Structure 1
Amino acid sequence: MNIVLLGILFTILWASGAVSVKFGLLSSPPLTMGTIRFILAGSLLMLYIYGFRRGKYPLPQKREWKPLILLGLFNTSLYLGCGFWALQTVSSGFFNLAVVVNPFLVALLSSLFANRSIQQKEWVGMVVAAVGLVIATYPLLEDSHSTLIGILLLMIGMISMAIGSVYFQKAKLQLPSLVINAWQVLFGGMILIIPSLLLESGKRFELDQNLILYLVWSVIGVSIFAMILWFYLLKLDVVKANIWLLLTPIAGYLQASILLGEKITSFDVIATLFVFAGLYLSGNFRLNKRPAPASAENLKV
Structure 2
Amino acid sequence: MFRGILFTILWASGAVSVKFGLLSSPPLTMGTIRFLLAGSLILLYVYLFRKGKYPLPQKREWKPLFLLGFFNTSMYLGCGFWALQTVSSGFFNLVVVVNPLLVALLSSIFTKRFIQKKEWLGMIVSAIGLIIATLPLLENSHSSLSGIFLLMIGMVSMAIGSVYFQKAKLQLPSLVINAWQVLFGGLILIVPSMVLEMGKPIVFDKNLIIYMLWSVLGVSIFAMVLWFYLLNQDAVKANIWLFLTPIAGYVLSFMLLGEEITKFDVIATLFVFTGLYLTGNLRLNISPRHRLEKKLGS
Equivalent residues of 2:68, 2:181 under 8 A apart: yes
Structure 1 match to 2:210: 213
Deviation string, structure 1 residues 42-68 (Cα, Å, up to 9, x no partner)? 000110011111111111111101100
- Are residues 1:265 and 2:266 paired? no
Structure 1: 4+ residue segments shifted above 6 A: 6-10, 242-246
- Are residues 1:71 and 2:68 paired? yes
Q: Distance in 2 between matches of 1:146 and 1:263?
A: 21
1:100-115 → structure 2 map (5 Å cutoff): 102-115=99-112
Equivalent residues of 2:127, 2:243 under 8 A apart: no
State which of 160, 175, 178 in structure 2 corresponds to 1:178. 175
Structure 2 match to 1:292: none
1:223-234 → structure 2 map (5 Å cutoff): 223-225=220-222, 230=226
| Rg comparison, structure with higher value | 2
Structure 2 match to 1:286: 283
- Are residues 1:124 and 2:108 paired? no
**Aligned AA for 1:86?**
A
The 3-state SS of whatever aligns with 2:57 is coil
Percentage of matched positions with identical amino acids: 77
1:163-202 → structure 2 map (5 Å cutoff): 163-202=160-199
The 3-state SS of whatever aligns with 1:65 is helix
Q: Distance in 1 between matches of 2:9 and 2:145?
A: 28
The change in CA–CA distance for 1:225 and 1:107 in structure 2 (over 3 A counts) is closer
Equivalent residues of 2:126, 2:272 under 8 A apart: yes
| TM-aligned CA deviation for residue 123 of structure 1 | 2.4
In structure 2, runs of 5+ residues without a counterpart are: 287-298
| TM-aligned CA deviation for residue 94 of structure 1 | 6.2
| TM-aligned CA deviation for residue 147 of structure 1 | 4.0
- Are residues 1:84 and 2:44 paired? no
Normalised TM-score (structure 1): 0.79
Normalised TM-score (structure 2): 0.80
| TM-aligned CA deviation for residue 253 of structure 1 | 1.2
**Structure 1 range deviating more: 96-105 or 267-276:** 96-105
Question: Paired residues, what number?
Answer: 280
In structure 1, runs of 5+ residues without a counterpart are: 290-301
Equivalent residues of 1:77, 1:189 under 8 A apart: yes
